[in-house]
Structure 1
Amino acid sequence: MKSNRMEAFSDGVLAIIITIMVLEFKVPEGHDWPALIGLGPKILSYILSFVYVGIYWNNHHHLLHLVRTINGRLMWLNLLLLFWLSLIPFTTAWMGESHFAATPTALYGIVLLLAAFSYWVLQRAIFIQHAGNSTVISAIGKDWKGKSSPVIYLVAVLSAYVSTWIAGFLFALVAVMWFVPDKRIEHVLNGQ
Structure 2
Amino acid sequence: METDRFEALIDAILAIIITVIVLEIPLASLGTWDSLYELRYEFIIYAVSFIVCFNFWNYNNNIFSIVNKIDYKVIWTMGATLLVFSLLPYFTTFVGENFYAFFPQFMYGLCFIITAILSIIIGKFLKEADPGNIALQLALSNHYPLYGTIILVLIGMIIGYFIFPPAIMICCLASILGIWCIPKIQCYLT
- Report the TM-score when normalising by structure 1: 0.88
| Farther-moved stretch of structure 1 (146-155 vs 132-141) | 132-141
Q: 1:62 and 2:24 equivalent?
A: no
Residue in 1 that maps onto 2:170: 169
> Is this contact kept in 2: 1:59–1:181, CA < 8 A?
no
CA RMSD of aligned residues (A): 1.9
Identity of aligned residues (%): 23
Q: 1:36 and 2:36 equivalent?
A: yes
| Farther-moved stretch of structure 1 (166-175 vs 79-88) | 166-175
Task: Tell me the CA shift for residue 157 of structure 1.
Answer: 2.3
Unaligned runs of 5+ in 1: 188-192
Higher RCO (C-alpha under 8 Å, 6+ residues apart)? 1
> Is this contact kept in 2: 1:153–1:171, CA < 8 A?
yes
Task: Tell me the CA shift for residue 171 of structure 1.
Answer: 1.7
Question: What per-residue deviation string (whole Å, max 9, x for no partner) do you get for residues 146-182 of structure 1?
Answer: 2211111222223221211432321221122234696
Structure 1 SS opposite 2:35:
helix
Q: 1:156 and 2:156 equivalent?
A: yes
Residue in 1 that maps onto 2:48: 48
Structure 1 SS opposite 2:90:
helix
Residue in 1 that maps onto 2:123: 123
4+ aligned runs moved over 6 Å, structure 1? 180-183
The code of the aligned residue for 2:112 comes to L
Residue in 2 that maps onto 1:141: 141
Question: What per-residue deviation string (whole Å, max 9, x for no partner) do you get for residues 58-103 of structure 1?
Answer: 1111111222122211110110111111010011100001123110
Alignment of 1:94-109 (within 5 A): 94-109=94-109
| Farther-moved stretch of structure 1 (62-71 vs 99-108) | 62-71
> Is this contact kept in 2: 1:127–1:137, CA < 8 A?
yes
| Farther-moved stretch of structure 1 (108-117 vs 162-171) | 162-171
- Between the aligned partners of 1:102 and 1:31, the Cα distance in structure 2 is 32
The code of the aligned residue for 2:77 comes to L
- Report the TM-score when normalising by structure 2: 0.89
Q: 1:78 to 1:182 in 2, by over 3 A?
A: farther
Q: 1:91 to 1:106 in 2, by over 3 A?
A: same
Count of aligned positions: 184
Structure 1 SS opposite 2:99:
coil
Structure 2 SS opposite 1:48:
helix
